[in-house]
Chains A and B, each alone.
Chain A
Amino acid sequence: MDFDWMKIPYAFLTLFIVVNYGFLLNAFIQKIGARVGRRHGIPIWQNYADMFKNYGLRSSITHGVMFYLGPVFRLSGGVGLILFVPIIYGSTMFSNMSFAGDLILALYFIFFGTLGMALGAGESGHPHAAIGITRGLSQVTTAELPFALAVFSVALQYQTLSVTDIVAAQQGGVLNWTLFTNPLAVSAAMLSFLGSMMRPPFDVVIAPQEIPIGPPTEYHSSYLALMQTNRAIFPIAKIVIYMNLFFGGATDWPTFFFKVFMIYLWSAFVGVVFPRFRVEQSIRWFLIWAVPLGVLSIVMV
Chain B
Amino acid sequence: MSSDIQAPALHRFHGGLHLPGHKTESTQQPPQNALLPRHVVLPLRQHIGEAAEPIVTVGSQVKKGQVIAQSVGYISSPVHASTSGAVVAIDDFRTPHPSGLATRCIVIEADGEDRWADHLPAPLADFTAEDAVTLRDKIRQAGIVGLGGAAFPTAIKLNPQTADQRGIHTLIVNGAECEPYITCDDMLMRRHAEEIISGIRIVQHILNPQRTLIGIEDNKPEAIQAMQQAVDKADLQTTQVIVVPTRYPTGGEKQLIKVLTNLEVPSHGLPADIGIVCQNVGTLLAIHNAIIEGIPLIERLVTVTGDAVAEPQNRYARIGTPFSELIQACGGYQGNVERLLMGGPMMGIAVVSDEVPIIKSTNCLLAATPASIPPPSDPLACIRCGECETVCPAQLLPQMLYWHAHAQDFEKVQDYNLFDCIECGCCAVVCPSHIPLVHYYRYAKTEIWQQEKKRQKADRARRRHEFHLERLERAAREKAQKLAAKKAALEKKKQAQAKAADHSSEDPKKAAIAAALARANAKKAARAKQPQSSDSQTTPAQEDSATESTNDS
- Do A and B originate from a single complex? no
